[in-house]
Amino acid sequence: MTRSPAVPGGAHILVTGGAGFIGSQLVRDVLSRRDGTRITVLDKLTYAGNRANLAPVESDPEQAARFAFVQGDIADPAVVAPLAAEADTIVNAAAETHVDRSILDPEAFLRTGVIGVHVLLEAVRHETERAADGARPAAPRFLQVSTDEVYGSIPAGRSVETDALGPRSPYAAAKAAGELLVRAYHVTYNIDAVVTRGSNTYGPYQHPEKLIPLFVTNALAGAPLPMYGDGMQVRDWLHVADHAAAIDFVLRHAEPGDVLNVAGGTELPNRDVIGRLLAACGRDWSLVRTVPDRPGHDRRYAMDGGRLAALGWRPQVAFDDGLAATVAWYREHPDWIAQSRTADWDAYYARQYAERLERGVAVDEVR
Ligand code: NAD
Ligand code: DAU
């Protein structure tokens, strides 16, 4: 049975983390439908948050009139409570998201991924009680944006939603903890909550710390590309427009308590991704260095997307098309790249890569 739409035109959606990569895509896509939907973004503007990602909305008078931006922390109840009171739907896309940073400094991951989710859930619980008391027309729907990393490394087969969770990095453990809190609040307090588990996402506006934007921006600049280990780790690639569309679809069609995999359907070893992006950038393998591996590096993620497909959703963007458009976008946006490399970028890059690149060796394209 399909649930009645949580996001009819005219609804008010609170998107936390809406200045980030996936959250801003959702904001841009929903507001550009011009169906009367209003969106408030709550974003702390960490190094990963970028107001420029929302410029297409803020520079369009019709969309700007249906948009509000609040800078703040999802772990701050005083900020969250009044925003939840005004929202029909809450999408939590706020998180610390880079595995390598979680290995260097885990604490912020736990604060946002566990305490922050708890604060959001308390606000949803309160609003659900208010709805039951007749103080608001309906309880809000809460969607937690989660990840395939909660399943851990999958040597064979594909993860289904009922599989046990086995996170293996501080980032993935924080995401799993957040999800478990969501389930606990749904079961215990009967809040209307759903979870999406997305696979590796790529596209425009992604911070250049992640594999594809890092390697594309380095390749365009003629800088070395640090490939971890043998480069045979497998990821399942999902275009960001598809990821945002899946979130929107799940808001409309999932049952309370549902957990849904959002699989990209393009499983590739990193070496294949690197080969394709080098070709799209007009570069060759001479830029690539194999460097010491990420500790605890998950060898393979792979999800079964059948449950979401049975509801009627499938990804639309073919990987080679999405990659070509992504390379073109980074080529055309040098100012965005420079601006996204905020104050901590040089220090982070040196800490993560200086020694690795010193120990790195040239890679033979042939495996
Ligand atoms: P991102 O790093 O680009 O953006 C995260 C945003 O959250 C930033 O704007 C940041 O400022 C904000 N933020 C961080 N801490 C906050 C806090 N305490 N309060 C308010 N805002 C805060 O991340 P992304 O890639 O867009 O990921 C969004 C969500 O999707 C995350 O939950 C992530 O775990 C999940 N996800 C990402 C991918 C991927 O490949 N990028 C895949 C699956 C799931
Ligand atoms: O699978 C979903 C997850 O995908 C999201 O939950 C995370 O937020 C997102 O960061 C991403 O995690 P990964 O660790 O898979 O992505 P990342 O881009 O960091 O790395 C992708 C692969 O590329 C991985 O096998 C590590 C490798 N890599 C990455 C970097 C940054 C390198 O070889 N060199 C690098 O410099």
Ligand 1 center to 132 CA (angstroms): 32
**Confidence at residue 7, expressed as pLDDT on a 0 to 100 scale:** 58
Contact (CB, 8 A) for 288 and 227: yes
* Ligand 1 touching residue 198 (CB < 6 A): yes
Ligand nearest to the CA of 206: 1
| Average pLDDT, integer, range 207-236 | 97
Q: Give helix 77-86 / helix 117-132 axis angle, nearest 10°.
A: 40
Dump pLDDT digits (tens) for 91-124. 999 999 999 999 999 999 999 999 999 999 999 9
pTM of the model: 0.97
Q: Is 127 in the pocket of ligand 2 (CB under 6 A)?
A: no
Q: What is the pLDDT of residue 258?
A: 98
Q: What is the mean pLDDT of the chain?
A: 96
- Cβ(200) to ligand 1 under 6 A? yes
Distance 146 CA to ligand 1 centre (A): 10
Indicate which ligand has the atom closest to the C-alpha of 197.
1
Is the pLDDT reported for residue 2 higher than 70?
A: no
Band (pLDDT 50/70/90 cuts) for residue 5 is very low
Cβ 140 vs Cβ 89: under 8 Å: yes
Residue nearest atom 3 of ligand 2, based on CA coordinates: 200
- Probe residue for ligand 1, chosen from 24, 46, 111 as the CB with the greatest number of ligand atoms within 8 Å: 46
C-alpha separations of 102 from 173, 228, 252, 362 in Å:
10, 16, 33, 27
Question: Is the CB of residue 302 below 6 angstroms from any atom belonging to ligand 1?
Answer: no
Adjacent-strand bridge partners of 261:
197
Contact 337, 208 (CB under 8 A): yes
Looking at 39-43, 182-186, 340-344, which range is the least confident one?
340-344
Distance from Cα 21 to the centre of ligand 1, integer Å: 7
Q: What is the pLDDT of residues 250-305, one digit of tens each?
A: 999 999 999 999 999 999 999 999 999 999 999 999 999 999 999 999 999 999 99
pLDDT for res 9? 67
Instruction: Provide the pLDDT confidence category of residue 365 given band limits of 50, 70 and 90.
Output: low
- In short, whether 301's Cβ falls inside 6 Å of ligand 2 is yes
pLDDT tens per residue across span 297-320: 999 999 999 999 999 999 999 999
Ligand 2 probe mutation, 112, 150, 207, 211, most atoms within 8 A of CB? 211
Residues marked as catalytic: 148-149, 171
**Residue 3: per-residue pLDDT:** 43
3-class DSSP state of 13: strand
Angle of helix 240-253 relative to helix 21-31, nearest 10 degrees?
A: 70
Residue 342 pLDDT = 84
